[in-house]
Structure 1
Amino acid sequence: MARLPSRRSSRTEIASFLNKSKTIATVRQRQPRLLFAIDATASRQPTWDRASHLQQEMFLATQESTSLCVQLCYYRGFADFHAGPWTTDSRALASQMSKVSCEGGHTQIQRLLRHALAEHGKNRLRAMVFIGDALEENPDSLCQLAGQCGMLQLPLFIFQEGQMRDARDCFTRMARLSKGAWASFDSSSASTLASLLGAVASYASGGVKALERNRTEGAKLLLQQLKD
């Protein structure tokens, strides 16, 4: 049988504990937050393993900036949408990413943007990253939501796998309306994605100044669009 505590905590001790708890909560709220979203539908299966590995590397790279808090989101299958917990544990994020697999289904970008706006309303996001290759939704509706993101200072960094024209036209408009940036990559330019992801992590942690210090090709590409 468990033993009862030998004494009760004093009011001073309880007050001290509550103050510490409030301080921890305040620190978490002030940490820069990045929402990281991926399209995990079947069309991305051919290059999924390589891209997934690079995305895990980005999470591990954020260890250099322990203040960055990240949420992993993805959609796939029949209305399957997942939003993970907010965390600063980059290894836990990499582990979450390693468990995601592709399933056939339609894109859910509108649902993703609404989720991002809701999270931004609770506690400001520095940015949202989206990696996808296609869209099967109304471009006007998506651009309307992207415009709302821009008005609320939530830039979208959209990295498109491949060059599907309809998706490219909509994604570039969304990035511009949100005051973010767009870039493309493919199986032969995996290093481009790695550079872009690292640049966004820098931006989310320290804004444009941190991006200027990054000096990678990915950072230069994002800066060019952010300053237009």
Structure 2
Amino acid sequence: MTRPSPDEQGLAPSVDTTVSVQDRTAQTKRYVDLYFTHFHSHWPILHRATFSIPDEPPLLLQAVLMIGLWVSEKASARQAAVDLHQKLGLWGREQRQRPLPRPESLSLSSLVRVCLRTNVFYYPSMLERYHDVDSMACIWIGVEEMGRLGLAMYKVCSLRRSGNSDDIEGRLLQLSDLQYPVPDSRLLWDAKSDLELSQLLQLEAGRERLDARDMANWISVCGTVLESGSERWSL
């Protein structure tokens, strides 16, 4: 049986029915903008130019809104962020159909375990997800976002390790798990529109680049350079 989404379970942020649709849309946009203004610069996981509020998966949009609510620094908004975090966490734990005695420490390792089991960070599998997609820009964005998510998760795992090592339970992500090339240049990532990105990708296609399919160019192999080299990626 298909499980209901967070929206269907009432896990989306509560809606004030006295507020007009236009005002709710404006509020949503405001918190999404706050996410990209304050969070995105430190954790550039989502492609800003192509993020579309009406078209994003509800769970992703709610996660973005949760962060936007929190960074607004308004007491009421922060409480709404905490409430949404708890509801989404509850929904996520129900998907696993088992109790989690310590959700804060186990949720990260559980996410890592799922990603590794399903080859989320394995380059051929990343490409395979888009085997029936014709748009070069769409494929690039999807693979790039997944790669940046992997590096963000690695950073979180590294921060977790730097804490009390005796308090870590389960498997945490390692650079050797990131079996894909280093994310592309900021020039491509900071494209302001689909059209600009498509044009830049066409220009890049005519230039000599590292072979992304060559395992020697994957983070799992050259990760020590990523960590200690002079050119560090933004995460």
Indicate the TM-score class for this superposition, using the shorter chain for normalisation.
under 0.3
Higher strand share: 1
**TM-score of the superposition, structure 1-length normalised?**
0.26
